[in-house]
C-alpha cells in the first residue's frame, strides 16, 4: 500500500479562503435575502483592460491558423517577447533584471508553492507572521522546520530579523499581504545583510508592487545592493492587471545565484529550478502570454493604472473610515489591503462572525494568517466603489453600536 505524505495530515484541513467561503455559503443558505459585500479574499473586480483582451484574441486567432500556430514552447520559461517586456518593466523603475533571469508562470502561487522542491527538507524556514498561508503550508507539506519573525503593532507589522537566530530560507512579502506594510530600502538592506550572514536564500513576494506610489519605496528586492547574491523574486499580474482568472506571473532568479551541494560544488539555483519545471510544468498558454505582454505596453500601462487608481481610492475610503473611528490600522497606502485592530479587543474570528451576521460584510480574520494576526482583520480595496462606500457606512454603524 502506498504511504501518504503524512505532513499533509498535520495541516489545517482546508486552505484559509476555502473555510471562509464555507462560512459565507452557510450564512447565505440561512439568509437567502442577505445583501453580502465581499471584502475577504483578495480578488479583483474590475474587468481586464481592452488592449489586453485584444492581444489575447489576436493570440487566439494565431492558434487557429497553421502558419502562426504555436505548440509546446521550447523552453517552457516563457516567450522572449514576454520575458523582454518584463525585463523592460523592471528597467522602468530602475532595476536591472535580464530576460534570461525571468521565467513566466501561471501565477505567483504556483511558483511560490513549488520552489521549495529544489531545497532540502532539513532547512530551517523563517516566515514573518502574519503571512500568506502558502509560505507556511507548502513548507509544512515537506515537513520542514518553520520559525517565525513577529510582525506586530510595535513594529508596524514589518518584522525585522533577529541576528541571533539562524535560518536557511526566508520569506518576505512587501507590500505585505495581509498587513499592507511596506519595507523601506533600509529595512530590506537589513534583511539582505541577515541573509548574506546566514548564507540564506530570500524568497521575495512582490505581488503588490504596482500599488506602491511613494517613489522612495522599493518595488523589487533587486533595487537593493546584495540581493542578487541571495534572493529570488516572485511577482504576478493578478493584482497588477486583474489576472486572477487569467493566470500569469513571473519568477526572477539571478543567474549568479548559487548554493553549495554537500560535495562542495556550486549549484545554480536557476538551473535547478529549470530542471524542476522541465519535468513538472509545460509553459503558459500562448494567448495568455500575449495578453500579459500587452500589460507592459505604453497603452497597457495607461489602462491598468486607471484600474489601480480606482482600487487606491477604495483603499483611501477604507483608511479614512478607520481614521475617523480612531481604529489602528496599517496599509491602505502603497497597498490594496487595510489591516486593522478589531474593536473592543475582539478576536479575529469573533469579529468575522459579527461582521457577517450584523452588517453582512465579509472580511478575512487576521488569525488565519498566523498568531500575530489574532485580534486583527484584513479588508481589501479590490471591490466595487459603491459597495466599498456602503460597507464602510455599515461598518461605522456597527462600531457605534458595539462601542
* Interactions with a second copy, residue window 261-280 (CB under 8 A): 261-262, 267, 269, 272, 275-276, 278-280
Q: How far is Cα 195 from Cα 33, in angstroms, rounded to an integer?
A: 53
Residue placing its CB nearer to a second copy in the complex, 54 or 150: 54
C-beta separation of 324 from 316 below 8 A: no
The span from the CA of 59 to the CA of 248, in Å, is 15
Window 18-57: residues binding a second copy (CB under 8 A): 18, 21, 41, 43-50, 52-53, 56-57
| 241 contributes a contact to a second copy by CB under 8 A | no
Exactly one of 107, 178, 254, 332 binds a second copy (CB under 8 A); that residue is: 107
Stretch that binds a second copy, among 89-97, 185-193, 195-203, 220-228 (CB under 8 A): 195-203
Q: Which of 31, 91, 185, 260 binds a second copy (CB under 8 A)?
A: 260
CA distance 44 to 308: 10
As a whole number of Å, the CA-based R_g of the chain is: 21
Binding string to a second copy for residues 286 to 305, with x set by CB under 8 A, is what?
xxx--x--------------
Q: Which of 2, 215, 264, 326 binds a second copy (CB under 8 A)?
A: 2
Provide the angle, in degrees to the nearest 10, between the axes of the packed helices 286-295 and 50-63. Answer: 150
Rounded (10°) CA dihedral 240, 241, 243, 246:
-140
Residue 18 Cβ, how far from a second copy at the closest point, in Å? 6
Which of 175, 242, 336, 383 touches a second copy (CB under 8 A)? Answer: 242
**Residue among 155, 199, 255, 357 that touches a second copy (CB under 8 A):** 199
**Largest Cα–Cα distance of the chain, in whole Å?**
68
Site string for a second copy, 329-368 (x = CB under 8 A): ----------------------------------------
Which residues fall within 8 angstroms of residue 75, CB to CB, at 6 or more apart? 283
d(CA 251, CA 235): 6
Note whether 316 binds a second copy by CB under 8 A: no
Half-sphere exposure of 261 (CA within 13 A, CB side): 8
Cis peptide before 14 (omega within 30 of 0): no
Among 37, 129, 157, 168, binds a second copy (CB under 8 A): 168
Scanning residues 60 to 79, which ones bind a second copy (CB under 8 A)? Answer: 60-61, 63-66, 69-74
The residue written with cell numbers 513548507 in the block is 139
Amino acid at each position: 500500500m502506498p504511504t501518504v505524505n503524512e505532513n499533509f495530515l498535520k495541516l489545517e484541513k482546508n486552505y484559509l479562503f476555502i473555510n471562509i467561503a464555507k462560512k459565507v455559503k452557510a450564512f447565505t443558505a440561512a439568509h437567502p435575502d442577505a445583501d453580502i459585500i465581499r471584502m475577504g479574499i483578495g480578488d479583483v473586480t474590475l474587468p481586464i483592460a481592452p488592449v489586453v483582451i485584444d492581444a489575447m484574441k489576436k493570440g487566439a486567432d494565431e492558434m487557429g491558423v497553421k502558419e502562426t500556430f504555436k505548440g509546446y514552447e521550447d523552453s517552457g520559461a516563457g516567450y522572449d517577447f514576454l520575458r523582454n517586456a518584463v525585463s523592460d518593466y523592471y528597467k522602468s523603475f530602475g532595476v536591472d533584471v535580464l530576460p534570461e533571469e525571468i521565467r513566466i508562470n501561471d501565477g505567483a502561487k504556483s511558483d511560490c508553492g513549488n520552489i521549495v522542491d529544489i531545497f532540502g527538507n532539513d532547512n530551517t524556514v523563517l516566515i514573518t507572521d502574519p503571512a500568506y498561508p502558502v509560505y507556511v503550508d507548502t513548507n509544512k507539506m515537506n515537513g520542514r522546520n518553520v520559525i517565525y519573525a513577529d510582525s506586530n503593532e510595535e513594529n508596524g507589522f514589518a518584522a525585522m530579523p533577529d541576528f541571533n537566530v539562524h535560518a536557511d530560507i526566508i520569506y518576505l512579502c512587501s507590500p505585505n499581504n495581509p498587513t499592507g506594510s511596506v519595507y523601506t530600502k533600509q529595512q530590506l538592506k537589513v534583511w539582505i545583510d541577515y541573509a548574506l550572514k546566514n548564507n540564506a536564500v530570500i524568497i521575495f513576494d512582490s505581488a503588490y508592487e504596482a500599488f506602491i506610489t511613494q517613489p522612495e519605496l522599493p518595488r523589487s528586492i533587486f533595487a537593493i545592493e546584495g540581493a542578487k547574491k541571495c534572493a529570488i523574486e516572485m511577482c504576478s499580474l493578478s493584482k497588477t492587471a486583474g489576472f486572477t482568472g487569467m493566470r500569469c506571473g513571473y519568477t526572477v532568479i539571478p543567474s549568479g545565484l548559487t548554493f553549495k551541494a554537500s560535495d562542495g560544488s556550486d549549484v545554480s539555483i536557476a538551473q535547478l529550478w529549470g530542471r524542476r519545471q522541465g519535468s513538472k510544468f509545460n509553459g503558459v498558454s500562448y494567448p495568455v502570454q500575449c495578453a500579459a505582454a500587452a500589460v507592459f505596453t505604453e497603452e497597457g500601462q495607461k489602462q491598468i493604472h486607471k484600474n489601480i487608481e480606482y482600487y487606491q481610492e477604495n483603499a483611501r475610503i477604507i483608511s479614512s473610515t478607520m481614521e475617523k473611528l480612531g481604529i489602528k490600522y496599517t496599509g491602505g497606502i502603497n497597498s490594496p489591503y487595510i489591516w486593522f485592530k478589531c474593536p473592543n479587543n475582539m478576536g479575529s474570528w469573533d469579529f468575522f462572525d459579527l461582521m457577517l451576521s450584523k452588517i453582512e460584510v465579509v472580511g478575512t480574520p487576521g488569525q488565519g494568517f498566523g498568531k500575530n494576526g489574532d485580534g486583527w482583520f484584513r479588508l481589501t480595496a479590490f471591490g466595487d466603489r459603491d459597495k466599498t462606500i456602503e460597507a464602510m457606512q455599515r461598518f461605522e454603524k456597527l462600531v457605534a453600536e458595539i462601542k
